[in-house]
Structure formats: C-alpha cells, structure tokens
Amino acid sequence: MAKDAKPAEDGAEAPPKKSKKLLIIILAAVLVIVLAGGGAAFFLLKSDPAEDEETAEETEKPSKKKAAKKDKKEEPPVFISMEPFTVNLIPETGDQYLQVALALEMEDAHAEADLKIRMPKIRNNITLLLSSKKASELMPKEGKEKLAENLKDEINSVMEPPVKNKKGELIAPDGPVQSVLFTSFIIQ
C-alpha cells in the first residue's frame, strides 16, 4: 500500500502544478491581448500633427466664411445722399426739366471719403448723362431702372477708372457703388 500511496501523492501534487502553469499561460495570454489592444488603440487614436493642421484648416474655412457672411449681413448698408440735380431734358414737346435726388449704396463706409474727393467730376458726369435723356425715356419704370444702372456705372468709372488688359481692351472693375436709388424724381 505504501506503493499505492506514493503514486497518489504524486498525482495529488501534479494537478496543482498543471493548474499553476495553466493559470500563468492564461494570464500571459490576457496580458498580451490587453497590451496589443492598448497599442492598437494608441496608434489609432494618436493623430499626426500635419493631419491636425489640415483638419483644423478645413474646419476653420467654413466657419470663417460663415463669420464673414454674418459680418456682412450684420453690417448695416452705407447710404450717401447727394444734393439734387436739376437739368434740362432733350426737348420733345417744349422745355422739360428733370429734378432728381440720389442716394448711393456703398460697399463700405471708407468709400465715402473717396467719393467726396471726386464729387465735382461725379456731379459733372451725372449732369451730362441726365441732360442727354428724353422725358419719354425716363417715364416708364424700365427707363428709371436703366438710368439708375447707367448712373452707377458712371460713378464707378470715376471712382475706379477702367484699365486696359493685355489685349488692349478696357475692363471696368466693380466699383464701390452697389446701387443708385432715387429719393426724388420729378419731370416737368
């Protein structure tokens, strides 16, 4: 029996050794999995500084555009009133006169100083343009709208004169006057 007891003792000791080895293997496997997961998470979540700048620029561009649009919308329009013009129109049925008062919608408040500096030339060109019209041209709404567009172009050409391109063609840049509004329009 002593022989039988000895193998039993060996058998009793063997299972705890196997379970310790198995426990160590399982812990090592879990540790490897956790480290691999942590490393993968680190590389996936870590971002490249160059990519951060590009992403930041992409996100800033739309917000800057929106801010610029909001600023433009929030800024009240700048209107400059001009002294009234009284001119003789081209006679059709006797002497006819036009008295008109204008308000100019400007792109910004800084353009007002430039406008005042050039006012004598602007008034001269407007007077010449108005006196070259007939009453029948100016009576309908379309005539007034066309006159407003012509006045805007005339004022802008004084403010920012046309330039020649490489082909020798004159190109008129957009000027500071966005629109011409009639505050008074009398034909007599």
* pLDDT for position 21: 83
- 18: alpha, beta or left? (left if phi > 0; alpha if psi -120 to 50): alpha
Does residue 15 have a pLDDT over 70?
no
Count: domains in the chain: 2
The reply to whether 69 and 83 lie within a common domain is: no
Q: How far apart, in whole angstroms, are the C-alpha atoms of residue 117 and residue 120?
A: 8
Question: Same structural domain for residues 145 and 182?
Answer: yes
Query: Of 74, 97, 116, which residue constitutes the final position of a domain?
Result: 74
Q: Are residues 171 and 83 in the same domain?
A: yes
Q: What is the pLDDT of residues 27-81, one digit of tens each?
A: 888 888 988 888 888 877 776 555 555 555 555 555 554 455 555 556 788 999 9
Q: Could you tell me if 102 and 164 lie in one domain?
A: yes
Tell me the pLDDT tens digit for each residue of 94-146. 899 999 999 999 988 888 889 999 999 999 999 999 999 999 999 999 999 99
Q: How far is CA 149 from CA 54, 82, 98, 130, 182, in A?
A: 44, 16, 17, 12, 11
113 and 97 housed in the same domain: yes
Q: What tokens appear for 127 in the block?
A: 């007077």
What mean pLDDT comes out for the span 153-169?
87
Domain CATH for 87? 3.30.479.30
User: What's the domain range around 109?
Assistant: 78-187
Q: Is the pTM of this model over 0.85?
A: no
